[in-house]
């Protein structure tokens, strides 16, 4: 992967940034992914939501959070009275990382180096959108935004004030909820996730 430390261009607008990101080769994940899945939403959104990386369906569609995890997320938003179209929704990593298994593509977690390379884009998305509140869904988003490797349970559910005075709110990743095998535990975890998202809604009124 090519390591770039200085901005090659000042993209300036979110559309220019998205255009630049289409050709990203900052790490090797572009080789196997279908396309860059960039953030989407209003450039003046008050809330920015950051996930981990696109999944199988997002990779094919080119849009974040439109697959199974997206459904859990949208359901929580709707219950909290939030409209996805008012949020800027993006990911820490913009290319789908997977392991081929037969016809299936199995999600693989991005490593620290990949997250650090892709922070290039996330940082610029934040600079342009200037959200009042950033919601980190999962440990990868938290690490990308803060360099912190806290246990999610230690930091979730309460706004954290960052160095740049922005507010960060941490919750779990919706894909994690889908992977909880026990139905009762899963329903409890989904309920807590919904509570977190309702808290987000109350933070910005």
Q: Which residues bind ligand URA (CB under 6 A)?
A: 51-55, 58, 64-65, 67, 69-70, 91, 175
Q: Closer to ligand URA by CB, 7 or 89: give it.
A: 89
**Contacts for 1 with CB less than 8 Å, ≥ 6 apart:** 25, 26, 27, 28, 113, 117
Of the pair 41, 55, the CB lying nearest ligand URA is at 55
Minimal distance, residue 108 CB to ligand URA, in Å: 12
Q: Which residue is nearest to ligand URA (CB)?
A: 51
**Furthest CA-CA distance within the chain:** 50
Helix residue spans in 66-182 (DSSP H)? 68-79, 112-129, 139-146, 152-155, 174-178
Q: How far is the CB of 125 from ligand URA (least distance, A)?
A: 14
Helix/strand/coil for 80: coil
Q: How far is the CB of 55 from ligand URA (least distance, A)?
A: 4
Q: How far is the CB of 140 from ligand URA (least distance, A)?
A: 8
Nearer to ligand URA, 62 or 184 (CB): 62
Q: ∠ CA(123), CA(58), CA(183), 5° rounding? A: 105
Distances, alpha carbon 3 to alpha carbons 73, 75, 94, 111, 165, in Å: 34, 39, 16, 15, 29
105 vs 161, which CB is nearer to ligand URA?
Answer: 105
CB 68 → ligand URA: shortest distance, Å?
8
Q: Name the residue nearer to ligand URA (CB basis): 178 or 201.
A: 178
The least CB distance from residue 91 to ligand URA, in Å, is: 5
Among candidate residues 7, 186, 29, the one with its CA nearest the CA of residue 105: 29
Which CB atom, from 65 or from 120, has the smaller least distance to ligand URA?
65
For residue 16, the tally of other CB atoms under 10 A from its CB is 14
């Amino acid at each position: 992967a090519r390591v770039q430390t200085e901005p090659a261009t000042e993209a300036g607008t979110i559309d220019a940034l998205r255009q630049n990101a289409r050709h990203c080769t900052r790490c090797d994940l572009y080789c196997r992914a279908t396309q860059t899945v960039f953030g989407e939403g209003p450039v003046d959104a008050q809330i920015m939501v950051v996930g981990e990386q696109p999944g199988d369906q997002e990779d094919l569609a080119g849009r974040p959070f439109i697959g199974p995890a997206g459904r859990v997320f949208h359901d929580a938003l709707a219950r909290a009275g939030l409209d996805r179209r008012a949020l800027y929704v993006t990911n820490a990593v913009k290319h789908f990382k997977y392991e081929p298994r037969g016809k299936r593509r199995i999600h693989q977690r991005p490593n620290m180096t990949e997250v650090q390379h892709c922070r290039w884009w996330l940082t610029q998305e934040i600079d342009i959108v200037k959200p009042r509140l950033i919601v980190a869904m999962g440990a990868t988003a938290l690490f990308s935004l803060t360099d912190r490797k806290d246990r999610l349970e230690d930091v979730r559910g309460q706004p954290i004030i960052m160095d740049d005075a922005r507010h960060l709110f941490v919750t779990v990743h919706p894909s994690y909820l889908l992977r909880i095998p026990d139905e009762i535990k899963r329903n409890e975890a989904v309920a807590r996730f919904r509570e977190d998202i309702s808290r987000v809604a109350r933070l910005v009124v």
